[in-house]
Amino acid sequence: MFLTQGAEWIQLDPQRHAALKRLAQRGGAITALHWAVGAKDAKYIDGQLELLGGTRGGPQRKYKVLETGLTVADRQHPITTGLSDFRINDEFYYRLDFVKPPGSVHPLLTARIDDNDGDGVLGGDRPDGGRSFGFVGLHFTAIGSARSIDVLVTQGIVWTLHLPVQKRD
């Protein structure tokens, strides 16, 4: 998904929401990029959490435009294979909500925002056997303009599909 307010979009049409739930129940892959990870209204948080594992929404949602460094928080995860820490100018969503139990979905990259670490990329195995990946960037950095973003997004999608991620130097 790559659209505005993805959490709301998922749930505005009950048939669409039901179809995505069936996809998840079959162990299907779900990827959300940019503002597909969230919605303004908090009532959409739970519906996206069950499908993606992480989201941002409601009055607690935080975002900021800045250039900052992204730190690879989980160097063992296949999505981050071959990635090093890098800098990027983007609009960052942070202080994401995560599904319970803790640890089933977790941040893969963090960014220093407002003197706190913020979560910007998430990935995890869902209890239904599927995988989810989300990246809140791509506001100003288009795919193809930054190698690290290309690698991150490509590997995130490949991993959710249960395909092997290539080793990188």
- Looking at domain 6-160, which CATH architecture does it have? 3-Layer(aba) Sandwich (3.40)
Report the percent of the chain where pLDDT is more than 70: 85
* Helix spans in 13-138 (H): 14-25, 45-52
Instruction: Give residue 165's pLDDT.
Output: 93
Highest mean pLDDT among 53-67, 107-121, 125-139, 152-166: 152-166
Is the pLDDT at 121 greater than 70? The verdict is no
Domains in the chain: boundaries: 6-160
Cα–Cα distance measured from residue 59 to residue 39, given in angstroms and rounded to the nearest whole number: 10
**Strands 131-135 and 30-33, bridge-based pairing:** parallel
Kindly report the average pLDDT of the chain as a whole number: 83
